[in-house]
Amino acid sequence: MKIRYNLIFIPLLIICAIAVWFLGFREQKQTAAKRLSDRSLVDPEQLQIIEIARGDETIRIEKTGSSDADNPDSIAEWRMVSPYQAGCDPGKVSELLQQIMSAESERDFKDVSETQLAEYGLNEPEINLKLISSSDAIMMDLGIGLENASGTARYAMFNNNPTEVFLIPIYSVEPLEVSAGDLRDIRALAFNKDDIVSVQISSSAGELQLDKENNSWMVAVPDRFPASPARLDVLFENILRLEASEFLPENADNPELGQKTVEVNLKSGDGNNYELSLHGEDIARGIFATSSWQPSPFLVEAYIHDRLALNPSEFIQTLLIDIPSEQIARILVRQPNAQNLEIERTGTGLEDWRIINPPDRNFTEPGDFQAFIDSLLALQLEYVVPAPAHSGDYGIDPVYFMKIEVYQERNMGEAIIKLGSLDENGNYYATQDDTSFFTISAEAVDNFMAAESRLKGTSD
């Protein structure tokens, strides 16, 4: 009996499954057929130009770059060429494209007459949308007319087929009522910071130049010294996040534009220049600015002036130990005529360290290791000093006062600081590469030595 039931039940299951698949497939085909992008055979990969004409304004934007296939978060670059030339906000263009590609038709009207076209407002459409390929082929030429009687949709047609009209939901038309200002990129400057190889900043504080050499940044002017990658990231972020709060006419001749208080020039590896200038200030509105990215002057918030009018002596302060604290695997402190200290990480916790030298030092108080790491990372460049006239002038060569070696996990890298004698202000001379020299404050070194002594067991 069970066999008979199975012979009936199994075929029924198969039939039901096929029916569900067929209905789902048909529904997908019907949905796809309703999409305007499918009806006009738009290939998003070939799309090069978007043109939206409304009344007296025609917005035309063109693709100037493509998204990176290896980076799913990258977005193709677009630039506005009409009604004026300007960068486009990549996020807003991407959103507009998604809305265009997903727009659907609701109902078709066949064999439409000239009289009906006029009734639908399609003899002179209020909105015309064109999508043009990289080979200048028109992939979509859409005209949009009046609303239907219920106000839920608008009449539309493909301009190359004026005898067939359909309805588009209001919510699919609204994105096309965008203005040029809505799509305009309000960033003061747009660039990829990984491509930048040179930075020049001129301000009342002085001249500053940084050059990228073998993936490391060097301060080249006014003095030559390794620059902090973290400080460069802050500088780039300050520029990339700078946005126009108000745009001025292209031919603006405000007196505030006659002077320049800060000039920034960024050069990429392919030879492109990115320029930003800060001018005078309107206390109520902000600072006047111009850039190579924006076609007209604009206003930015006043805070940016202090973030770009950098004092070179402050900017070149660098993280002497630029290895993240959680990635430090081993630290060795050498002192002539004194006991060396060597510690090694044993885990991921703040106190997961063991003392290798001194060999008989096994007891530490809670917090000793963390205090030592904190004091190590607090060793910062105070002032850049010229190279010594004689090798022994700074007490570093041939015998140093202290040498600190910091090694990264899996031997991925190391950072070394050599301390010498005290200068006339009581600070320690130091170097990292024996070619550039600086001072570290005595307070920072004293704190480090006190933390080191606790680990060695030579202080209470």
pLDDT for residue 195: 93
pLDDT for residue 15: 63
Residue that wins the pLDDT comparison between 238 and 65 = 238
Residue that wins the pLDDT comparison between 384 and 128 = 128
pLDDT for residue 64: 83
Q: pLDDT tens digit string along 224-239? A: 777 766 677 778 888 9
Q: pLDDT tens digit string along 382-398? A: 777 888 888 789 999 88
Neighbour count for residue 395 (Cβ, 10 Å)? 17
Whether the CB-CB separation of 104 and 34 falls below 8 Å is answered with yes
Alpha-carbon dihedral angle through residues 355, 359, 363, 369, given to the nearest 10 degrees: -20
pLDDT for residue 188: 93
Q: Is the pLDDT at 74 greater than 50, yes or no?
A: no
pTM here is 0.55
Collapsing DSSP to helix, strand or coil, 66 comes out as coil
Q: Is the pLDDT at 331 greater than 90, yes or no?
A: yes
Least confident stretch, 189-193, 274-278, 418-422: 189-193
Residue that wins the pLDDT comparison between 9 and 401 = 401
Sign of the alpha-carbon torsion through 247, 248, 251, 256? negative
Measure the CA–CA gap between 7 and 204, rounded to whole angstroms: 91
Collapsing DSSP to helix, strand or coil, 305 comes out as helix
Q: Which pLDDT band, with edges at 50, 70 and 90, does 25 fall under?
A: very low
Alpha-carbon dihedral angle through residues 379, 385, 387, 393, given to the nearest 10 degrees: -80
Whether the CB-CB separation of 161 and 36 falls below 8 Å is answered with no
- DSSP state, residue 255: G
Domain boundaries, the chain: 38-183, 193-315, 325-456
In the sheet where 206-213 sits, what is the strand order?
225-226, 216-221, 206-213, 196-203, 262-268, 273-282, 286-291, 298-300, 246-247
* CATH of segment(s) 325-456: 2.60.40
**Helix, strand, coil percentages for the chain (3-state, nearest 5):** 30, 35, 35
Averaged pLDDT of the chain = 84
Largest CA distance in the chain: 106
Q: Is the pLDDT at 438 greater than 90, yes or no?
A: no
Q: Which pLDDT band, with edges at 50, 70 and 90, does 119 fall under?
A: very high
Mean pLDDT of 328-332: 93
Phi, psi of 356 (to 5 degrees): -90, -45
pLDDT for residue 235: 84
